[in-house]
Amino acid sequence: MTPDITPITMPKFGLAMTEGKIAGWLVEPGTQVTAGEELVDIETSKITNTFESPVAGLLRRHVAANGEMLPVGALIGIVADAAVADADIDAFITRFQADFAAASDQPDGAEAADEPVMMQVGAHSLRVHDRGAGDGTPLVLIHGFGGDLKNWMLNHAALAHGRRVIAFDLPGHGGSSKDVGPGTLAFFADVTAQLLAHLDLSRVHVMGHSLGGGIALTLARTQPALVASLTLIAPAGLGPQINMDFINGFIEADRVRGVQDVLKYLVHDKALIGRRMADDVLRYKRLDGAEAALRKVAEACFPGGKQGDDLRPVLAAADMPATLIWGQADEILPVAQADGLPGSVTRHILPAIGHMPQLESATAVNEVVEAFIGHEVATA
Amino acid sequence: MSKKSFRQAINEALRQEMRRDPTVILMGEDVAGGRGGSAGTPDAWGGVLGVTKGLYEEFGETRVLDTPITEASYIGAAAGAAVTGLRPVAELMFVDFVGCCLDQIMNQAAKFRYMFGGKARTPLVIRAMYGAGFNAAAQHSQALYPLFTHIPGLKVVIPSSPYEAKGLLISAIRDDDPVIFLENKVMYDVEEEVPDEPYAIPFGEANLTREGDDVTIVAFGRMVGMANEAADRLAKKGIGCTVIDPRTTSPLDSETILDCVADTGRLVIVDESSPRCNMATDIAALVAEEAFDTLRAPIRRVVPPHTPVPFATVLETLYMPSVEKIEAAVTATMNHRVTEKV
């Protein structure tokens, strides 16, 4: 590698990402950029994310044009000092492209194995993605209503250092079987406990988002010995209010346009909701049994348009390390539900972020989680 | 979820619907095939290209019916079975054979609901192979979907990939109206990720397989893959294409087509059926009438010449739309300059 030339390559937002599209360059060639400055919007099958410059320097080239779809690792731009000659940059690009093409032909065995697998857990067939290794207490990720393990695409790999991090699709969701029993938080907490037993895990950190936060709290109440700590992202169970326009709209929408409109409730920056994200949701919702499962869960958890479970007492018990992350601009569960909790519960309120901070503000969320459970492990 | 071929996706849709609903039956020439022969299996053929293989073994001769080579009789019987309580999936093998049974489709099945004052349901699916590129000559290579699209009372489905094929065929079987389900015979070995569970893709909603700002490409069936490849190549040249797969020609999602044309101002239609009165002319008329003011360049059609499909490989290749022809059409529409009128 020529030290003066920095290749800008297609980033990998989570291990599931294999390719990305240049949604739009934010900086023109010939512009001086700082490290961390927003360079380009990258659209993946799930979300559009802004990629920041890894270095400071002069952006010399856009190698990939707006709209181009490229595999992860492909060259998209060049940052180099003004002193570097154009001919050297051309030579660098030619060499990089040749090396990249050669490497792409190699079979990619190691990564191919890092994929979700189906597990039979009691009566349920669950899609489970078990990543990472190490001595740290494992972390289990529980997604929310209508979600799946891909909701953690920007967090899962990033957190899987020095510990196992296990994400799974709840019954009725994603690739898991569609029987949701009574559809209650207690039911899902029980399935989570069964999965942990199946994986031979006796104590784990639990991170839950939205309904998954309510499930995590319920698990902490019913099986406290299993739960080393709670990381709750805009969790259910801390107040009665919930945006039923989202819940009902999500259940009923069966066309791309309708789904896209409903998904906009989830984020503050509405431009994040692309058509492909809606396509992905529809692929799930079209599966036989998915809509019935969602209806069952909504009826059980939100009777009469209110949250039926009050889980504040779980946090008031205070012998459970817990941290709370909430987007200030949450349109599903109001951020005010984060108020009035014991001082032992650390709170991270993220301004200008909606109901899915783990997608909309992934870096900040990952830092909070690393600090929280990293610290917990150190003192354990 | 695993990778499945177009053939496997269709087979799985049939199998899952036959398990779910005992009124679903198959009929057609060689849908089992070769019974009593020396092959050692009860269904030596399983369809002329193996699409229904294994279904005879699971569901038996009361639900997988080999018919004589008499399209008029068994398509008529299927239409009758549909109005009297079954959900038949009748296979016409090559769509070119429709000439032998068009009355049963056009004047009978398609008209029952209307002629009986809305009181008759005809949950009939007719599966057939279409398309050139298989070196099967003029009587086995046509893309006759415009013929069916022309007939009110029929729904017409053209899946563009294995995922689409499974979900659209399940919708076709669950639908209470006659549905013509057309499979491009060149695509049977195309593979992609297809969920193991049953799922239904609704009719009349187009799918956008690419999104871009400059040109809208509408393509059908196998042409969608070609349009995607052309769009990817054009993206490298800085030309952004939206690719629309309408999924069904009847009903047609004209709203999505008009919305995309309004965004891009340019339209290319890729249609492998004969060029007169085909989907390309239909959509061109729609856009000319509804969205004339949004157009920045003339509509372009990538279609074959108005001839029978040639047998000779070089001529067949020349006849067909291709990635290169789509690229050329997009480039031409991009290069169009409006001349000032004086």
Q: Is residue B304 part of a domain?
A: yes
Contacts B195 to A, Cβ<8 Å: 175, 283, 287
Partner-chain contact B240 A66, CB within 8 Å: yes
pLDDT digits (tens, 9 = 90+) for A159-203: 998 999 999 999 999 999 999 999 999 999 999 999 999 999 999
Residues of B in Cβ contact (< 8 Å) with A66: 238, 240
Nearest-5° angle of CA B52, CA B310, CA B159?
Answer: 35
**Spatial distance between the Cα atoms of A229 and A323, rounded to a whole number of angstroms:** 8
Sequence-separated (6 or more) residues with CB below 8 Å from residue A224: A320
- With CA atoms as reference, the chain A residue closest to B16 would be A288
Nearest to B184 by CA among B157, B207, B158: B158
Which of these, B125, B61, B70, B132, lies nearest to B97 by C-alpha position? B70
Domain C-terminal end among B173, B194, B215:
B194
Task: State whether A65 and B237 contact (CB < 8 Å).
Answer: yes
DSSP H helices in chain A: 86-104, 109-113, 156-159, 185-198, 211-222, 244-252, 256-263, 275-285, 290-301, 312-316, 357-360, 362-379
List chain A residues with CB under 8 Å of B212: 67
Contact call for B235 and A255, based on CB within 8 A: no
Over residues A289-303, mean pLDDT? 97
Kindly state whether residues B243 and B214 are assigned to the same domain: yes
Q: Both B175 and B142 in a single domain? A: yes
Residue B184 lies in a domain: yes
State how far the Cα of A127 lies from the Cα of A180, in Å rounded to an integer: 14
Last residue of a domain, one of B152, B169, B194: B194
Same domain, B188 and B242: no
**Would B199 be classed as within a structural domain?**
no
Q: Does domain A5-105 have CATH number 2.40.50.100?
A: yes
A&B contacts, CB < 8 Å:
43
Residue B31 lies in a domain: yes
Per the structure, the count of domains in chain B is 2
pTM, 2 dp: 0.83
DSSP B7-43: HHHHHHHHHHHHHH-TTEEEEETTSS--TTSSSSSS-
Reduced to 3 states (helix: H, G, I; strand: E, B; else coil), residue B139 is coil
Does residue B2 contact residue B15 with C-beta atoms inside 8 Å?
no
What class does CATH assign to A116-379?
A: alpha beta
Among partner residues B195, B202, B211, which is closest to A254 by beta-carbon distance? B202
Kindly report the nearest CA distance between residue A284 and chain B, in angstroms: 9
CATH at residue B51: 3.40.50.970
**B211 shares a domain with B188:** no
CATH number of the structural domain spanning residue B271: 3.40.50.920
Range of the domain at B141: 2-194
Closest to A186 (Cα-Cα) out of A207, A217, A209? A217
* 342 residues of chain B, pLDDT tens digit each: 789 999 999 999 999 999 999 999 999 998 988 766 666 677 778 888 889 999 999 999 999 999 999 999 999 999 999 999 999 999 999 999 999 999 999 999 999 999 999 999 999 999 999 999 988 999 999 999 999 999 999 999 999 999 999 999 999 999 999 999 999 999 999 999 999 999 999 999 999 999 999 999 999 999 999 999 999 999 999 999 999 999 999 999 999 999 999 999 999 999 999 999 999 999 999 999 999 999 999 999 999 999 999 999 999 999 999 999 999 999 999 999 876 665
Is B273 a domain residue?
yes
- Closest chain A CA to residue B20: A288
What residues in A contact B239, CB-CB < 8 Å? 67
CA distance to partner chain B, nearest, from residue A332 (Å): 28
Interface test with B, best of A18, A69, A125, A128 (most B CBs within 10 A): A69
| Closest chain A CA to residue B239 | A67
Cβ contact, residue pair A68, B236, below 8 Å: yes
Kindly state whether residue B269 falls inside one of the protein's structural domains: yes
Q: Where along chain A do the CATH 2.40.50.100 domains lie?
A: 5-105
Decide which of B194, B216, B238 is a domain's last residue: B194
Examine residue B342 and state whether it is found in any structural domain, yes or no.
no
Backbone dihedral angles phi then psi of residue A114, each to the nearest 5 degrees: -85, 70
Cβ atoms of B90 and B126 closer than 8 Å: yes
ipTM: 0.89
Residue A105, pLDDT score = 60
Interchain contact, A275 vs B198, CB within 8 Å: no
- CB–CB of A67 and B202 under 8 A? no
Annotate A244-258 with DSSP letters as a single string: HHHHHHHHH--SHHH
Residues of B that are catalytic: 140
Residue B317 domain flag: yes
Q: Rounded CA gap, B18 and B170, in Å?
A: 10
